[in-house]
Amino acid sequence: MSSDSADYNSSKDHGGPDGMEPDGIIESNWTEITDNFDDMNLKESLLRGIYAYGFEKPSAIQQRAIIPCIKGYDVIAQAQSGTGKTATFAISILQQLEIDQKETQALVLAPTRELAQQIQKVILALGDYMGAACHACIGGTNLRNEIQKLQAEAPHIVVGTPGRVFDMLTRGHLYSKLIKMFVLDEADEMLSRGFKDQIYEIFQKLSTNIQVSVLDSTLASRRRPPSTRTEVCYNRVVQMACFIRSC
């Protein structure tokens, strides 16, 4: 297992098994519940990564959200930190990757550099046995190295902050033609930080039939009108097939 994977196995911040909060009441318009990773028809190499990471069974949010994500539906998931949201979309992305295709296939936006790096580590850990490549595209890093990484290696997954991702897309260094999955993590926080227009510009550069997943915090959503969750892509996500909320 890579060093990037190993140093995150015991994390309690974003979806790690040791930091999982007790499941609360779940509200959802998705009725299918899968309470075992083995029953999700996941790639064997991905299953190895999940169990090596320390998961034994999926959390309540994972039992309901992983399958619709894998099936390509748009998803909005609301849950507090520690309920497994990050691992939910990480597993979904990794399952849908075409590993032999050395092009960026998934884009994840996060409000801060720190969160983007944490998400990257979760993805690398879970996808370690698959050979999945994930790059953190964030401000405050060497721009020349960033460009070289994106162009020379074309990582399967890019996780980044809106500013740097928008810059790389606009310059043509981040190739978007084959990106088929777009995830907004802590969407409400990104909106509150003033990233709404930038996120929309990023979204406009992606394929029109891209899959969209929006994740935010239950607590954050209670502080702002629920409609903000659907503003992220200007009504694109109001047509989502799956809404899941952990209360």
Q: What per-residue confidence (pLDDT) applies to 10?
A: 33
Nearest Cα residue to 81 out of 51, 126, 118, 136:
118
| 229 HSE (CA, 13 A, CB side) | 27
**Chain length of the chain:** 247
> Residue 18: what pLDDT?
46
Phi, psi of 96 (to 5 degrees): -90, -5
pLDDT at 84: 86
pLDDT by residue, tens only, the chain of 247 residues:
433 333 333 333 444 554 444 455 667 777 789 999 999 999 999 999 999 999 999 998 899 999 999 999 888 888 777 778 899 999 999 999 999 999 999 999 999 999 999 999 999 999 999 999 999 999 888 888 889 889 888 999 999 999 999 999 999 999 999 999 999 999 888 888 888 889 999 999 999 889 999 988 754 444 444 444 444 454 554 444 566 666 5
Closest CA to 7 of 137, 134, 158, 125: 125
Q: Delineate the domains of the chain, giving CATH numbers in brackets.
A: 3-246 (3.40.50.300)
pLDDT at 80: 76
CA angle 84, 184, 25 (to 5 degrees): 40
**Cβ(153)–Cβ(176) under 8 Å?**
no
pLDDT at res. 243: 64
Task: Write down the pLDDT at residue 37.
Answer: 98
Q: Residue 21 has what pLDDT?
A: 47
pLDDT of residue 113: 95
Q: pTM of the full predicted structure? A: 0.83
Could you tell me if 134 and 123 are in contact, meaning their C-beta atoms sit under 8 angstroms apart? yes
Q: Where are the beta strands (DSSP E) in 66-121?
A: 75-78, 106-109
